[in-house]
Amino acid sequence: MNVIGESVDERGPINAKRYAPIHTSAPLLTEQGSGAEILVTGMKVVDLLAPYAKGGKIGLFGGAGVGKTVVIMELINNVANNHGGVSVFAGVGERTREGNDLYYEMIESGVIKINDDGTTKGSKAALVYGQMNEPPGARARVGLTGLTVAEYFRDVEGQDVLLFVDNIFRFTQACSEVSALLGRIPSAVGYQPTLATDLGALQERITSTKKGSITSVQAIYVPADDLTDPAPATTFSHLDATTVLSRQISELGIYPA
């Protein structure tokens, strides 16, 4: 679906019994759950050297072309297929081709089921897209739409949800474009003055409660490989686990870098 919940897979309109606002407050501290369980990714270097926590927020940092999206695809393949619960993928301002590839890969692996009557009943994934060619308003809000879908499965159905976001930097970039259109005075490196607020409003809702959990894997583009850039630097503080992909290692042809 797109940012306002319209079907984009040419399988007819989505008939909804329940509607939810994409803007809502984060769960209260008393509602949040706790737990220390390792999320097994099936990628040896990650599981051994930089393990991820189940119900946590995981960040994949890297510059252009070092393999962030490929690692996310691998995680979707390894974790989502063996997970048993529901997976939500939010494509925020990334290439339409990648979203298209992911859709067909999920059909092939059976995570998305296309039944004989054309319905997708029995599917274990929801895909929410606001890609590069869409207006900044759509790209700035599609992450919230994907998160609202994940919150439904967590709070109403009590499930353990996997939320994949590609790419958080594009969310920041879209908010910056909207900020410029609104005539706000830019802050450091030309970003919007509300950078920390925008990111906090999204990230604080990605959490585990006593009803269910959301484990989030987020790709974060690093402009010009500069980790001190305000966008990736602000994102760091929200994450439970971070994996920084190295250009030097990717140049040697070693992946994941």
Burial label, 88 (beta-carbon count in 10 A; 0-12, 13-18, 19+): buried
Residue 94 designated active-site: yes
Q: Are 80 and 104 in contact, with CB atoms under 8 Å apart?
A: no
Element (H, E) at 46: helix 44-49
Phi and psi at 69, nearest 5°, equal: -65, -35
Residue 68 designated active-site: yes
Kindly name the residue from 57, 94, 141, 170 that is annotated as catalytic.
94
Element (H, E) at 243: strand 241-244
**DSSP letter, residue 25:** P
- Collapsing DSSP to helix, strand or coil, 61 comes out as strand
Kindly name the residue from 54, 57, 74, 95 that is annotated as catalytic.
95
Residue 98 designated active-site: no
Kindly name the residue from 68, 141, 154, 170 that is annotated as catalytic.
68
**Of 158, 172, 149, 175, which is closest to residue 16 (Cα–Cα)?**
149
Cα 48 vs. chain centroid, distance in angstroms? 24
Helices and strands in the chain, H and E counts: 9, 8
* Bond from prior residue into 21 cis (ω within 30 degrees of 0): no
DSSP string, 101-168: HHHHHHHHHTSS---TTS--TT--EEEEEE-TTS-HHHHHHHHHHHHHHHHHHHHTS--EEEEEEE-H
| Residues carrying an active site annotation | 68, 94-95
